Structure 1
Amino acid sequence: MKIIVMGAGVIGVTTAYYLAKQGAEVVVLDRQAGPGLETSYANAGELSYGMTSPWAAPGIPMKAVKWMFMKRRPLFIWPLISPTMWKWCVQMVRNCNEDAYRLNKGRMVRVSNYSRDVMPDLIAETGIDYEGREQGTLQLFRTKKQLKGSKADQDILAEYDSPYEVLDRDGCIAVEPALAEVKDKFVGGLRLTADRTGDCRLFTIALAEKCAEMGVEFQYGQSIRSIAIENDQVAGVDTEIAGRITGDAYVCALGSYGPRVLNPIGVKLPVYPVKGYSVTLPVTEDQYAPQSTIMDETHKVAITRLGDRIRVAGTAEIAGFSNRLGPHATDTVKHVISDLFPRGGDISRAEGWTGLRPMTPDGTPVLGPSKYSNLFLNTGHGTLGWTMACGSGRAVADVVLGRTPEISFDGLTADRYAR
């Protein structure tokens, strides 16, 4: 069975791996010159199993209004004349209630927990190195109000069997010793002990190499123009250079760009690009640098240790498909690393980056079958593509090959948007 996978980011490559592992002939198409060169390139580096939650949550609309007036705000909304953008925003607001939040979180946790469980097997099978660490995530609270408000998160973590620790100031310093330098800037934290870290791009490159060894064919520099439909099935993928490429089944893992080829064939997905920023800087003094991931609750910025580098990522910007990295775009993330780890890294050598996160309004990815029997979806993971990659890749591969997946697809497919 020949499978065409559209997209060579972490989602497409993990899907290709699990398809090839089960004996399929796999061809991966991507417009870039190699794997992991778009959203997978410089994300936060968090494998955020404990922090798997939809952005659409009770109270978020009011918080968003407050964020808009912060000097270093975590959210920007540009008033574009875009019906698609505003429709997506309205759909997201409609999910900002308790019932929708619990339903959506349950669906998301199902995927992320599965990914957490299967990823160690993939690492053991392939032996790939991605600068991984297993020291958890520390959600850092600068105010007592934030610490008190985390009780709701603790209840939900307990409900979904996600291990955690509530830490006072000294407890935070015990797990991240460099914070002793700035102990007056926070009051406590919530540590998610099952979380991991690692360089998503290194993982994607290394896994793509393993896939190639298994016989997977990667065709880079292939911009996809459209998906051809004949007799109510996908007949091929039309590219700008190679023309039509055909297979027995097709998987769309194009992230934010998926709707551009799916909408014309009647597969309507509310996947919208939410822009994020990061900087990567070298560690200067290890004892003053982070050891794992710290999430600054005030600025919604993640600081992650990746080998001898520090990755700092954050900001949500709703601005269409703009990939512009303006001169002040990374000011917020630079402020947070300088504020919490002033001697940990060389901010003068920070490399800026921006990428588009493929977000659904309910936060849940879109996996599995489509309206066409030989077209399958693996997209819409938002900020959690790295977290969910192994689980969604393995589950979608099972569905493509007609096998029973190990998790339920209830509420994960495109059918939830049909109404």
Structure 2
Amino acid sequence: MKILVLGAGVVGTCSAWYLQAAGHEVTVVDRQLAAGMETSFANGGQISVSHAEPWANPHVLPRLLKWLGRRDAPLLWHWRADPQQWLWGLRFLRECLPGRVQANVAAILALALDSRRRLQTLREELALDYDQLQRGILHVYTDRSELAAAMSAARLMARHGLEREMLDAAACVVIEPALAGAADILVGGDYTASDESGDAHRFTQALAERARQAGVTFLYGVEVERIASAGGQVAAVVVNGEGGPRLLAADAYVLALGSYSPLLLRPLGIGLPVYPAKGYSATLTLADDSHAPSVSITDDERKLVFSRLGNRLRVAGTAEFNGYDLSADPVRCQALIDRTRQIFPKLAVEGEPAFWCGLRPATPSNVPLIGRSRLSNLWLNTGHGTLGWTMACGSGAALADLVGGRRPAPEFPFLRG
């Protein structure tokens, strides 16, 4: 079939790769001038299957009350006159029920484990280089109640095939010596040796180039303006780029535009439970005597991750719900640096940090939307939240299976239209 993929982020690019591998003629459209230039550009850099516990869980409710009114809160909710925001928030609260959390963790883990395996296969087969490190992910805790919640989450994940090894503070420092300066505030941690880290932007661009060499067409600098439908299916997509507006038609379409996906479907009467969750990052250039970590670190209390990317340290995380606003709050930016200094007091850097923010496409459950929409030839691959890169390869492969009429391997609630 002739397939048009809307979006060249990590999820759209992976979708294109697996669709062309299945024998389809694939074209990718993106408004940026290269692949991976928006939410995939400067994210946390983790392949973090161990982060499968969704934001929506019973432990988050008292934290939300504690964080109210704080501009530097790990999760910041700006109240807006936006019915979509309020509806998303109500659904989020429903997903905090224990039974729903268990089902969501099982679904996320099944897809994430499959996705990590596929990423490793792609890396080997295509000789991809993206500052990758296979040194695991270490979750650290400075609050005993957070550590207790992590133990509960680890037991749940163990039942679904992921082992998170619980550690005391001393063992955390053994795994990552750069934590020695913060040993007095650590209360423990957990370690997942099978997780990885790397630069999602470099990965996306490398895979896009391999896809181009394999025959995928990439149309950059082309804005998707509207989906035209007729007779219960997509008739064409209206795009605008150099040369003005035009129609692009295909046999099937894949919507992988992240947080912007609902905006295209709303005029067609199709609602998606996806809302933008703005994440922040700071990229620090390391000095020769940096005392920087080489194991990727997750700070669950502050919802931050620290990933070594060559001679850079990426500090990223938090979530700000403020519609499609992409402005960077200096208070939240400074909070990244303050926590970095607290966890790594001996860190030596060069120059000023490069701050960035991007809109993660969050569903209330953190379970992405993958499968056929209500329009028979429109397929969805969106809503991956904080785990876009973690689940990208598995999502792309699963989508290619679904388009080809095959049942994907992971036990996951794929959409049926």
TM-score, with structure 1 as normaliser = 0.95
1:132 corresponds to: 132
Which residue identity is paired with 2:52?
T
1:213 corresponds to = 213
**CA-to-partner distance for each residue in 1:251-299, whole Å, 9 max, x for gaps?**
0000000011112223211100010100001122456101121112221
4+ residue runs over 6 A deviation:
none
Runs of 5+ unmatched residues, structure 2: none
Whether 1:278 and 2:284 are equivalent positions in the alignment is no
2:387 partner amino acid? L
Aligned match of 2:47: 47
Higher mean Cα deviation, 13-22 or 322-331?
Answer: 322-331
SS of the aligned residue for 1:325 comes to coil
Q: Distance in 2 between matches of 1:194 and 1:138?
A: 11
Work out the CA distance in 1 between the residues paired with 2:279 and 2:326.
10
Contact persistence 1:139–1:295 (CA under 8 A):
yes
Letter in 1 for 2:361: P
SS at match of 1:364: coil
The one-letter code of the counterpart of 2:195 is D
Equivalence for 2:184: 184
Structure-to-structure mapping, 1:38-117, within 5 angstroms: 38-68=38-68, 72-117=72-117
1:233 positional shift: 1.6
Deviation at 1:406, TM superposition (A): 2.0
Q: Distance in 1 between matches of 2:62 and 2:416?
A: 29
The more displaced of 36-45 and 257-266 is: 257-266
Q: Which residue of 2 aligns with 1:264?
A: 267
Matched, 1:234 2:237: no
Partner in structure 1 of residue 256 of structure 2: 253
Q: Is the 8 A contact 1:366 1:414 kept in 2?
A: no
Percent identity over the alignment?
40
Distance 1:285 1:52 in 2: 35
1:141-160 matches, within 5 Å, as 141-160=141-160
Compute the displacement of 1:400 (Å): 1.4
Query: Which letter does structure 2 place at the counterpart of 1:373?
Result: S
RMSD of aligned Cα (Å): 1.6
Query: Does the Cα contact within 8 Å between 1:142 and 1:297 map onto a contact in 2?
Result: no
In structure 2, give the amino acid aligned to 1:76: L
Q: Bigger CA drift: 137-146 or 27-36?
A: 137-146
Residues of 1 paired with 2:118 and 2:376: CA distance? Answer: 27
- Are residues 1:379 and 2:382 paired? yes
Separation in structure 2 between the aligned mates of residue 348 and residue 185 of structure 1, nearest angstrom? 28
Q: Report if the CA contact (8 A) 1:313-1:333 is conserved.
A: yes
Worse-superposed segment, 102-111 or 216-225 = 102-111
Query: Is 1:413 aligned to residue 397 of structure 2?
Result: no
TM-score norm. by structure 2 comes to 0.96
Q: Residue 158 of structure 1 aligns to which amino acid in structure 2?
A: A
Distance 1:285 1:414, change over 3 A: farther
Q: Is the 8 A contact 2:76 2:321 kept in 1?
A: yes
- Aligned partner of 2:368 among 352, 365, 369: 365
- Is this contact kept in 2: 1:252–1:379, CA < 8 A? yes
Residues of 1 paired with 2:68 and 2:207: CA distance?
40
Once residues 396 and 378 of structure 1 are traced to their aligned partners in structure 2, the CA distance between those partners, rounded to angstroms, is 7
SS of the aligned residue for 1:402 comes to coil
Letter in 1 for 2:414: L
Gap change, CA 1:71 and 1:250, over 3 Å in 2: closer
Deviation, structure 1 residue 81: 1.1
CA-CA distance at 1:132 after TM superposition: 0.9
Q: Partner residue of 1:339?
A: 342
Aligned residues: 414
The answer to whether structure 1 residue 295 and structure 2 residue 303 are counterparts is no
Residue 3 of structure 1 deviates from its aligned partner by 0.6
CA distance in 2 between counterparts of 1:99 and 1:401 reads 33
1:359 positional shift: 0.5
State whether residues 7 and 28 of structure 1, in contact with CA within 8 Å, keep that contact through their aligned partners in structure 2: yes
Stretches of structure 1 that go unaligned for 5 or more consecutive residues are none
Q: Aligned partners of 1:319 and 1:347: how far apart in 2?
A: 32
Partners of 1:407 and 1:45 in 2: CA distance: 23
Query: Quick one: distance in 2 between partners of 1:278 and 1:347?
Result: 17
Deviations 1:145-201 (A, max 9, x none): 333332212211211121222111221111111111221121221112221101000
CA distance in 1, matches of 2:205, 2:253: 22
Residue 353, structure 1, aligned to residue 356, structure 2: yes
Displacement after TM superposition at 1:347 (Å): 6.9
Q: Which amino acid aligns with 1:125?
A: E
Checking the alignment, whether the CA contact within 8 Å between 1:285 and 1:343 is kept in structure 2 is no
Contact 2:70 2:76 in 1 (8 A): no
